[in-house]
Structure 1
Amino acid sequence: MTSTLHSFKAWLALLAITVLAGCAHPIAVVPDQARLARGADAPAPMPLRVGYHIPTALADMEVTTPGGGGDNIRYFPYRDIDAGFEKMLSNVFSDIVKLPSIANPAETASSGVHYVIVPTIVTTSGGSGLFTWPPTSFSVDLTSQIRDPAGTLVASPRVVGFGSAETSERLFDHGFAGRRAMEDALLRMQAALRETSFTGAPAQRQRGTTSERLDQLKALRERKDITEEEYEKKRKEILDAL
């Protein structure tokens, strides 16, 4: 009975998705903060006060990219990543503050921040379904421009996160692939920031960093967010960098 009910619900979801074909469908790609929690074995946050800024124009910017079945999807990447980006930064730095503006260097300096980080996001998506529109693949190209309070660029680490969704996942959660890509990008950026040199806080290249990256990669494979071939390629890159 339970199996029959589940199959019926899946059929209804598929029917709804098929009927709604032919337009740009809204989805949410908000990352799950539970997947961004700092592990017990992770390096301690650097003793720095860091501000981050997402311009209002970007927070309100809706992006349209391809879905499946010839349809498009639309979403707000900066608005959706905001809370997850702050959570990720709090794993790396001891004190995080969201800055409403960075136009005035004097005001920025008065906030007591050592650095200001501004994210830049480029997304892509696609769908393999012929009759269903939710995306089966998604990527998030994330760059963090790091500046001192005076506005001088210090570093700009860039990462790319990937996410995928099986049929059952995307039928019930249309933004599943996008959310997984957001989470992957944030975890990759977390690792990149830990290996960035900051004045007053040495780059944290502890032995646990490599282990953490391998664990994250393994988790992506187990969730089928990446293929076995992608897993082996990335694993080799991590080990070759030692």
Structure 2
Amino acid sequence: MGFVAATALVMMTGCAHQISMSPDASKTASVSSKINKQVAYVISPADMAKEVQTPGGGGDKVKYQPYKDLDAALYQAFSAVFADVTKVSTPSEAKGVALVITPSVTTTSSSDSMLTWPPTQFTVNLVCTVVDPKGQAVTQVQGSGSGQATFDEFKSDFSLAARRASRAAVDNLVKALENSAELRR
């Protein structure tokens, strides 16, 4: 009787399915004029290991690692805007750079399906806090994106809504970085 009760409890509470937020790396936005500065971006080991769970469909959840999944796309985004980019684990490792950028990633997901677990809607918000080498605030730049995927689309890629949201957020971040007057000073 205990096994049946445990199985029923698992079925009622759902489970978490692994997805990836990594966008298509071949589609990084470009800029008309790079900013001629050396920058470092900071993603701590704790952030790289951080796993997040958000709602999927059918009462299930999805799990993913936002910083790990977006690391390559962030590097490409910063490289599209700035002359030289280095990744570091702590701000104190950023030597010989003009700016230190610390990205923050927040996400949401949902699904209007009661029968399938992949999310049909996904949002990504990237907020980059930019400081000078002394730690003085320069600016904060944001890029957000949302992605949708229908069953016919995601049946071959369960991460599709997340990938689309990530691509839009990274592309919007590139535009925001390029258009920031504070970063060009």
TM-score by length of 1: 0.68
Asked if the contact 2:61–2:117 (Cα under 8 Å) also holds between the matched residues in 1, the reply is yes
What is the number of residues matched between the two proteins? 174
Structure 1: which 4+ aligned runs deviate by more than 4 Å?
none
Identity of aligned residues (%): 37
Structure 1: runs of 5 or more not aligned: 1-18, 203-242
Structure 2: runs of 5 or more not aligned: 1-10
TM-score by length of 2: 0.89
2:81 maps to 1:78: no
Distance in 1 (CA, whole Å) between partners of 2:29 and 2:174 is 11
The CA deviation string for residues 188-223 of structure 1, in whole angstroms up to 9 with x for no partner, is 111111111246x35xxxxxxxxxxxxxxxxxxxxx
Asked if the contact 2:21–2:64 (Cα under 8 Å) also holds between the matched residues in 1, the reply is yes
The CA deviation string for residues 86-105 of structure 1, in whole angstroms up to 9 with x for no partner, is 00111111111111321x3x
2:83 maps to 1:94: yes
Q: 1:37 Cα shift? A: 4.7
2:120 maps to 1:136: yes
Give matches, 1:140-179, under 5 Å: 140-179=124-163
Of 46, 53, 57, the match for 2:46 = 57
Give matches, 1:19-34, under 5 Å: 22-34=14-26
Question: Quick check: which one's strand share is greater?
Answer: 2
Distance in 2 (CA, whole Å) between partners of 1:167 and 1:140 is 21
Question: Counterpart amino acid of 1:120?
Answer: S
Distance in 1 (CA, whole Å) between partners of 2:140 and 2:90 is 19
Asked if the contact 2:40–2:87 (Cα under 8 Å) also holds between the matched residues in 1, the reply is yes
**Superposition RMSD on alpha carbons, in Å?**
1.7
Residue of structure 2 in register with 1:67 after alignment: 56
2:166 maps to 1:182: yes
2:28 maps to 1:36: yes
Q: Which has the higher contact order (CA 8 A, sep 6+)?
A: 2
Asked if the contact 2:14–2:60 (Cα under 8 Å) also holds between the matched residues in 1, the reply is yes
Question: Quick check: which one's helix share is greater?
Answer: 1
SS state of the match for residue 69, structure 1?
coil
Distance in 2 (CA, whole Å) between partners of 1:158 and 1:198 is 14
Distance in 2 (CA, whole Å) between partners of 1:36 and 1:158 is 16
Distance in 1 (CA, whole Å) between partners of 2:160 and 2:59 is 19
